[in-house]
Amino acid sequence: MTFTSINPYSERVVAQYEGLDAHGVEDALVRAHTAYQMWRDVEVKDRAELMNRAAELLEGEIPVVAELMTSEMGKTFAAAKGEAAKCALTMRYYAQHAPSMLEDEIIPSTASFSGVRYEPSGPILAIMPWNFPLWQVVRFAVPSLMAGNVVLVKHAPNVPSCALYLEDLFVRAGFAKGVVTNLFVEVDQLPAIIADSRVRGVTLTGSERAGRAVAELAGRHLKKCVLELGGSDPFIVGSSAVMDRTVAHAVTARIQNNGQACIAAKRFIVVAERSEEFVERFSEEMAQVTTGDPMDPATVLGPLVSRAQLDLLSAQVASSIAQGAVVRAGGAALEGRGFFFPATVLTDVPADARAAREELFGPVAVVQVARDLDQAIDLANATPWGLSGSVWASDAREIDAVIERLDVGMVFANAIVASVPELPFGGTKNSGFGRELSVSGLREFTNAKTFYVA
């Protein structure tokens, strides 16, 4: 059982690590359980000092860890540096704000003194994806650690060096061993880990299929779970959109992280009166997006994460074209070294085509034309997913209508959807449930204990 990372640009092996057998898993669970007995009693202000130290170390190592991320999953070096900096910023945010967020809430009642106290739950298992190797872990782990929990991280098998870096970062910052534990385990080892009485909750960011499996296991063993399962986010262009700004952000919204982001815009729904202009300008801009070595500052779009991901996206696009979808830019995988798929625009996609029914995890945009804003919102909601979406308009009435009616967990107006520590992150429908970040994420894996003094 070996965990191997392959550079998506060079197609060479980056690193290999041996996985844990049953004895190794048991040792990890013992360490986590033992560490929790200590960590839960550490004062929040002392946890904050350690978290600030972790941020300081990370800030000093941004170029190093950014190169590591680029080598293991192919994101551009610039994007990787931004991801690492965002992680450090979030560490500092919770170091500053968690103490007040965790204070007892005093609630008037028939008691002389009553309220709610937020206490940690215990070791929490995190099953993490590869597309943001540091950020996905940090946005869950940092608030959970500040709440007094310890974390067990089952990271994606193709970013093992990033997983080890995070574990080592917290140890070097002064966190006791076992407070953050990396688990090199296979999927078939997870049911036993979730079932273990020492594990008190589980969070997963990944596919809908994986989410259903984890939710079933967590429910069977009465464990709290949080699921972020991706989606097919709409980018709605209203009649009052400022087109220069809209087109520029549409390109970024689709190709960010090489098109491999849950919150990347995937369906571009444009009202008819602006559709011709948008399609023409958007297609031109997407056709000019450059691909290449992700370590090269001139590269805008790096490779997809793996050969398997490239083959899947290629099949989804080819099938849709065969059913009648029109290619306005890109359209097929690039030949040569690396797992490259160009920035692609498809229009006139049949409703039963794969590009219309499935999440496209790569730089492929599907453009739909709506009669008016009402129909645009209806089209946006006509999907089993509900993670996030955006609206592009200068008329406040158009913005308000989308915010009110869009059936998602997050709506952004005239801005690309993003995750920020101040605001809750999560979706609805088949995009999962529960929240990360903000005070909501901090309290997800706490016991809201009521106290009542007569």
Beta pairing partners, 150: 123
216 is catalytic: no
Contacts of 450 (CB under 8 A, 6+ apart): 114, 115, 116
Q: Distance between the two ends of the chain, CA-based, in angstroms?
A: 58
Q: Judge whether 148 and 40 are in contact, CB under 8 Å.
A: yes
Q: Which two tokens stand for residue 167?
A: 């574990």
Tokens at residue 68, please? 């590591």
The DSSP secondary structure of 369-436, one letter per residue, reads: EESSHHHHHHHHHSSSEESEEEEE-S-HHHHHHHHHH--SSEEEESS-----TTS-B--EETTEE--B
Structure tokens at 398: 């158009």
Q: Where are the beta strands (DSSP E) in 36-86?
A: none
Catalytic residue among 72, 225, 262, 398: 262
Identify the active-site residue in 228, 359, 398, 436.
228
In the block, which residue shows the tokens 């680029």? 70
Cα separation of 307 and 383, whole Å? Answer: 28
280 is annotated as an active-site residue: no
Catalytic residue annotation: 228, 262
